[in-house]
Amino acid sequence: MGASDGTPVAAGRGKRMPRAVREQQMMDAAVQTFARLGYRAASMDQIAELAGVSKPLVYLYLNSKDELFTACIRREASALVAAVQAGIEPGLPADRQLWDGLTAFFRHTAENPDGWSVLHSQARTHGEPFAAEVAAMRAEITAFVNHLIGDAAREARCDPHLADREVAGLAQALVGAAESLAAWANDTPGVSAKEAAATLMNFAWAGLENLMKGDRWSPSAAATSSAGKSR
Amino acid sequence: MGASDGTPVAAGRGKRMPRAVREQQMMDAAVQTFARLGYRAASMDQIAELAGVSKPLVYLYLNSKDELFTACIRREASALVAAVQAGIEPGLPADRQLWDGLTAFFRHTAENPDGWSVLHSQARTHGEPFAAEVAAMRAEITAFVNHLIGDAAREARCDPHLADREVAGLAQALVGAAESLAAWANDTPGVSAKEAAATLMNFAWAGLENLMKGDRWSPSAAATSSAGKSR
Amino acid sequence: MGASDGTPVAAGRGKRMPRAVREQQMMDAAVQTFARLGYRAASMDQIAELAGVSKPLVYLYLNSKDELFTACIRREASALVAAVQAGIEPGLPADRQLWDGLTAFFRHTAENPDGWSVLHSQARTHGEPFAAEVAAMRAEITAFVNHLIGDAAREARCDPHLADREVAGLAQALVGAAESLAAWANDTPGVSAKEAAATLMNFAWAGLENLMKGDRWSPSAAATSSAGKSR
Amino acid sequence: MGASDGTPVAAGRGKRMPRAVREQQMMDAAVQTFARLGYRAASMDQIAELAGVSKPLVYLYLNSKDELFTACIRREASALVAAVQAGIEPGLPADRQLWDGLTAFFRHTAENPDGWSVLHSQARTHGEPFAAEVAAMRAEITAFVNHLIGDAAREARCDPHLADREVAGLAQALVGAAESLAAWANDTPGVSAKEAAATLMNFAWAGLENLMKGDRWSPSAAATSSAGKSR
DNA sequence: GATGAATGAGAATTCATTCAT
DNA sequence: GATGAATGAATTCTCATTCAT
């Protein structure tokens, strides 16, 4: 995804290069700039300079700032989804798949902080057209998690216990927790992707198992249950 | 926080009003505009118009776009923290406090979607000065959740089982999940604050209880555990 | 003419005062502000604050920024002319009158640097209406110097030697030299009004005396005269 | 320096031109506008229009109003110093050099009234950064005059008679007189650069010669000397 | 007499975007 | 294929000026 520091993204600047390569350089520069400054604050001038090309060339290849941003979002979203899918072996049990997927997710976001920032922070704060792009990717991931939970539930023969909407909420919570942990892992020195994934599995899997068994936490029982514990 | 639709925020427009009132109207308009367009895309013109005043008055009272944004963040952060605190009774057991806090949190964010958006989406994507403002609030909440988990762990006499960093990670995950669920609840019609809170408690509390008992999920055990279940 | 430092100009602030007094306070503040920031950069807000009154009051008394500036110019010009005239005794010989006038001039400008700055630097750089105001005063002074030179010439019976325009030019040069020296004296620590006046008299009077005797410097004679000197 | 009237400064408007040419056109327009309206009152819009280009182009080439003003000051200062230096032949006697320099000075200021106004009136009234720019040029000229006076004094073997500060004051007065005469010559129809120079030489040189001989005017002697003359 | 509240008009500056070469 | 030259349209911010009380 290009250098993560401030140096020019293009390898050989000023050279003639095939269009596809130039385009990638521009998008590398764009992702970096968007991630650090935000969509509005990033200027086409900066992006072109960082990419080592002239501004008109950026327009020639990518048409407009909007399209450039969209292209960045799509590229980064695809890369993320691909990385997660590559980490999973479909035949394995659900919890193992979840673990593998989370590990891949944390690894990828750690290695591509700018790309992740574009997806997580920037795309969602700049109006529908962009947010929709990310929502699509998120839906894909959420659907996969849905599946996983559903499979596990079926394995455990507890279909009736989980309504569709409940599953959707859980997936949402899981993804949110993962996103939050990704940021935390990136900001806290010494936290590895594996550790983040383990934390999340510990946090989530037992809850999911309980739910599948039909055990639910309920406010009315809180006093009792807690009292029981502290007894 | 003012009307959530596009109509002017001020009650009596064009009228002379005491400064304090006007200031609130301006901040209402600003929160709404920032939430929907983002910091950079929101123009002072739009904000002033929505507030029903002229631009110079906004500057007279709030000095600059930066300060206006900061003022909004502070106001919304205070309001959110206050709402959560108001929902909690300190003497109750930890899970009950968590439930109450989450319910209050989801209720407040549902009632103030724009304020929540400013805190969650906008403030964090527009540079350190603003992000720091929110980080402070988040730290406050995370610390509280930390406390709760720690208390519960102590009640359950499982001190050795949970390292400090593990607790911090869990709190982080919980808060992230809550934030994500808040957005989901806001966007999904018919999801109440209670339902969101219940989903999260179901998801989280069982996991936390297990952890406190020392049960951990581990990748090496995944195949077995899953196999056992499907047996 | 008001404090020369940055402290409020008005003695008793917030008090009820007769209109004439308030007006002077405002003009003191205005002169100070105009002198230091220039006409355009000085804002009515600053002036009002420095004067210790509210802005509308400034408008009530002095109508507009233009009129305020004009009033300042007039007041300072009158004060300067009055000071110079007060320093002169009409019966005395021309050189003595010139000396006395210059001394008074340098003393007044040293004591009223802001007033002098308004006249010398500001009024002349902000378009005709204001420049004309100062030009009138300058003409008055120049005319007086004209007179003095004329008188001296007549005393020395050298009427034929000095054309009217030549006298005008000399007066102009003298006044210009005086203005320049005033600025220099204000900026150079330790230069007194007397010293400035002496420098100028030394510089100017001998030349004037020579001229009145009919001695003129001419380019054609330059080589010779200089050669003669160094012989 | 471009047309001195109100018509556009650029020769070929709207055309594509090399950057260097456009820059000069912009600076021509800027000098004219600054001279007539003052720094603050001159708007970038006006300058751009007069230059026959769009405002963004002015910013692209000259960065800001401040830098544009500074660039104008530097250009005009250099041009003035160059013109004076070009008028002087170093080997000639001091009074001849002074005469030549003054003539060149008056000629240049007469031909570039706007440039002169920027240096003399505008730059000095708009804060340190700009005033310093002109002060540097003025120091250069003053140093040269200092030199001349010093040389003449040495030729006449009268070193002890003139203290450093006295020389500085004299140079100041001379330059002030010249500046004043330049304005007078510009405003009075039919006054040539030569006439202005002659007036100033007549005014100044005799005084300087006297001073070098040690003759000084003194107030105490005024009555007598004048009385003697009028006898 | 005196002021807090309010604004229309304009200023500097930036940016996405397009030609002509 | 690639770029120097150029701009229309905003955007943030300031200021002189006026009411209503």
Report the 10 Å Cβ neighbour count for A79. Answer: 16
B216 → chain A, closest CA residue: A202
Helix/strand/coil (H, E, C) string of C49-87?
Answer: HHHCCCHHHHHHHHCCHHHHHHHHHHHHHHHHHHHHHHC
In tens, the pLDDT along D85-117 reads: 999 998 888 888 888 988 898 899 889 999 999
CATH 1.10.10.60 placement within chain D = 19-63
Alpha-carbon span A59 to A75, nearest angstrom = 18
Nearest-angstrom CA–CA distance, B192 and B186: 9
Task: Give D53 to chain C, closest Cα distance, Å.
Answer: 26
The b/e string for A138-148 (b: 16+ C-beta within 10 A; e otherwise) is beebbebbbeb
pLDDT for C191 = 86
- For chain D positions 13-72, those within 8 Å of chain C (CB to CB) are 37-41
Nearest-CA neighbor of A2 among A22, A32, A23? A32
Residue from the list B121, B202, B203 with its beta carbon closest to the beta carbon of A125: B121
Residue D61 pLDDT greater than 60, yes or no: yes
The rounded Cα A197 to chain-centroid distance in angstroms is 14
What's the whole-number mean pLDDT along residues B28-36?
95
What pLDDT is recorded for position C9? Answer: 53
Lowest mean pLDDT among A67-76, A197-206, D153-162: D153-162
Lowest mean pLDDT among A11-25, B26-40, D130-144: A11-25
Structure confidence at residue C1 as a pLDDT band (50, 70, 90): very low
Q: Which residue has the higher pLDDT, D161 or C49?
A: C49
Question: Which part of chain B has CATH 1.10.10.60?
Answer: 19-65
Mean pLDDT of C76-97: 91
Cα–Cα distance, A114 to A4 (Å, whole number): 7
What amino acid is encoded at A118 in this protein? V
Rounded Cα distance between A179 and A181, Å, is 5
Percent of chain C's residues with pLDDT above 70: 85
Compute the nearest-CA separation of C175 from chain D (Å). Answer: 7
pLDDT at A22: 86
Q: How many C-beta atoms lie closer than 10 Å to residue C188's C-beta?
A: 15
What six digits make up the tokens of C140?
């008055």
CATH number belonging to domain A19-63: 1.10.10.60
Q: Straight-line distance from CA D19 to C1' F2, in Å?
A: 19
CATH architecture of the region C70-216:
Orthogonal Bundle (1.10)
**pLDDT of amino acid A198:** 86
Q: Which band of pLDDT confidence, cut at 50, 70 and 90, is reported for residue D41?
A: very high
What is the token pair recorded at C45? 């807000």
Nearest CB neighbour to C217, from listed D92, D94, D95: D95
Task: Kindly tell me if the per-residue pLDDT of A222 is higher than 90.
Answer: no
* CATH fold for domain C19-66: Arc Repressor Mutant, subunit A (1.10.10)
Model pLDDT, residue D82: 94
Rounded to the nearest 10 degrees, the angle between the axes of helix A94-111 and helix A65-86 is: 140
How confident is the model over C115-135, as pLDDT tens digits? 999 998 888 888 878 888 888
Give the pLDDT score at C225: 43
Q: Residues with Cβ < 8 Å from C99, sequence gap 6 or more? A: C197, C201, D217, D219, D222
Query: What confidence tens digit (pLDDT) does each residue in D180-217 have?
Result: 888 888 778 888 888 888 888 888 877 777 777 777 88
In C58-92, which positions are buried (b, 16+ CB within 10 angstroms) versus exposed (e)?
A: beebbeebeebbbbbbebbbeebbebbeebbeeee
pLDDT digits (tens, 9 = 90+) for C12-63: 444 567 788 889 999 999 999 999 999 999 999 999 999 989 999 999 999 9
Contacts of C46 (CB under 8 A, 6+ apart): C33, C37
Q: D87: helix, coil or strand? A: coil
Whole-number pLDDT of residue D226: 42
Give how far C9 is from chain D: nearest CA, Å.
23
Please name the residue that has the structure tokens 């006054």.
Answer: D191
Q: In angstroms, what CA-CA distances link B139 with A175, B125, B144?
A: 21, 17, 8
Which tokens sit at A150? 């559903």
Whether nucleic acid strand F comes within 7 Å of the CB of B210, the answer is no
Per-residue pLDDT at A12: 47
**How far is Cα B32 from Cα C186, in angstroms, rounded to an integer?**
56
Please give the C-alpha separations between residue A3 and each of A74, A80, C40, D126, in angstroms, as whole numbers: 19, 17, 49, 46
- In this prediction, residue A157 has a pLDDT band, given cuts at 50, 70 and 90, of low
Handedness of CA C51, C53, C56, C57 (dihedral sign): negative
Outline which parts of chain B fall under CATH 1.10.357.10: 67-216
Give the separation between CA D42 and CA D126, rounded to whole angstroms: 13
The percent of residues above 70 in pLDDT, for chain D, comes to 84
d(CA D29, CA B184): 59
**What H or E segment, with its residue span, contains residue A198?**
helix A193-213
What are the pLDDT digits (tens) for C154-186? 776 655 566 778 888 888 888 889 998 898 888
CATH 1.10.357.10 in chain D: give the residue spans: 71-216
CA distances from B225 to A94, A156, A205, B50, B129 (A): 10, 12, 12, 58, 47
Q: Is the CB of C65 under 7 A from strand F?
A: yes
Among protein residues, the one whose C-alpha sits closest to the C1' atom of F5 is D16
Q: How far apart are CA B118 and CA C145, in angstroms?
A: 72
For strand E, which nucleotides have at least one atom less than 7 Å from a protein CB?
Answer: 1-21
Look at residue C15 in the predicted model and tell me its pLDDT: 56
- Tell me if residue C43 falls in helix, strand or coil: coil
* CATH of region A70-215: 1.10.357.10
Chain B residues whose beta carbon lies within 8 Å of the beta carbon of residue A184: 168-169, 172
Q: Does residue D7 register a pLDDT over 60?
A: no
Q: CA–CA separation, B213 vs B153, rounded Å? A: 9
Query: Any CB–CB contact under 8 A between A135 and chain B?
Result: no
Q: Where in chain C is the domain with CATH 1.10.357.10?
A: 70-216
Q: How confident is the model at residue D225 (pLDDT cuts 50, 70, 90)?
A: very low
Q: Which candidate, B19, B16, B120, places its Cα nearest to that of B61?
A: B19
Nucleotide nearest to C56 (CA to C1'): E3
Least confident of B56-70, B154-168, D17-31, D107-121: B154-168
CA distance readout (Å), B17 to B23, B45, B53, B183, D72: 10, 20, 11, 35, 49
Judged against a pLDDT cut of 80, whether residue C6 lies above it is answered with no
Residue C199 near residue D170, CB atoms below 8 Å = yes
- CATH C-level class of D71-216: mainly alpha
Q: Residue range B37-54: average pLDDT?
A: 93
The fold adopted by the segment(s) B19-65 is Arc Repressor Mutant, subunit A (1.10.10)
What integer is the mean pLDDT of B44-65? 94
Q: How confident is the model at residue A69 (pLDDT cuts 50, 70, 90)?
A: very high
Nearest to A177 among B94, B177, B209 (CB): B177
| pLDDT at residue number D224 | 45
The pLDDT score that the predictor gives to residue D158 is 59
Contacts of C142 (CB under 8 A, 6+ apart): C168, C171, C172, C175
Q: Which nucleotide is nearest to A46 (CA to C1')?
A: E15
> What tens digit of pLDDT does each residue of B182-201 get?
988 887 888 888 888 988 88
SS3 readout for chain B: CCCCCCCCCCCCCCCCCCHHHHHHHHHHHHHHHHHHHCCCCCCHHHHHHHHCCCHHHHHHHHCCHHHHHHHHHHHHHHHHHHHHHHHCCCCCCHHHHHHHHHHHHHHHHHHCHHHHHHHHHHHHHCCHHHHHHHHHHHHHHHHHHHHHHHHHHHHCCCHHHCCHHHHHHHHHHHHHHHHHHHHHHHHCCCCCHHHHHHHHHHHHHHHHHHHHHCCCCCHHHHHHHHHHHHC
Q: Mean pLDDT check: name the lowest of A170-179, A182-191, A213-222, D109-118.
A: A213-222
* Percentage, residues of chain B above pLDDT 90: 40
Per-residue DSSP letter, A121: I
Query: Which residues from chain C sit within 8 angstroms of residue D126, using beta carbons?
Result: 38, 41
- Taking only the tens place, the pLDDT of each residue in B107-132 is 999 999 999 999 988 998 888 889 88
> Do C202 and D207 meet the contact criterion of CB atoms below 8 Å apart?
yes
Model confidence at B157: pLDDT above 70: no
**Distances C203 to A180, C28, C166, D211, D223 between C-alpha atoms, Å:** 82, 35, 18, 8, 19
The pLDDT, as a whole number, for residue B4 is 46
H-helix or E-strand containing C181?
helix C164-187
What percentage of chain C's residues is helix, strand, coil (to nearest 5)? 75, 0, 25
Its sign, for the CA torsion B9, B10, B14, B17, is negative
Output the average pLDDT for chain A: 80
Please give the pLDDT value at position D53.
94
Nearest nt by C1' to D52 Cα: F6
CB contact under 8 Å between B180 and A181, yes or no, is no
- Would the pLDDT of C228 be above 60? no
Is the minimum CB–CB distance between C211 and chain D shorter than 8 Å? Answer: yes
Between B87-96, C174-183, C203-212, D10-19, the lowest mean confidence (pLDDT) is in D10-19
Q: Which residues contact A181 (CB under 8 A, 6 or more apart)?
A: A106, A196, A199, A200, B169, B172, B173, B176
Confidence (pLDDT) at C161? 60
Homologous superfamily of the B67-216 domain (CATH): Tetracycline Repressor, domain 2 (1.10.357.10)
Domain boundaries for CATH 1.10.357.10 within chain A: 70-215
Looking at residue C190, what is its pLDDT?
83
**B7 vs D35 pLDDT, higher one:** D35
d(CA C160, CA C153): 9
Q: In chain C, which residues have their Cβ closer than 8 Å to the Cβ of D180?
A: 172-173, 175-177, 179-180
Please tell me which of B211-220, C159-168, D11-20 the model is most confident about, judged by mean pLDDT: B211-220
Q: Provide the token pair at A178.
A: 């993962």
Range D40-63 average pLDDT: 94
Cα C46 to chain centroid, rounded: 26
The pLDDT, as a whole number, for residue A2 is: 44
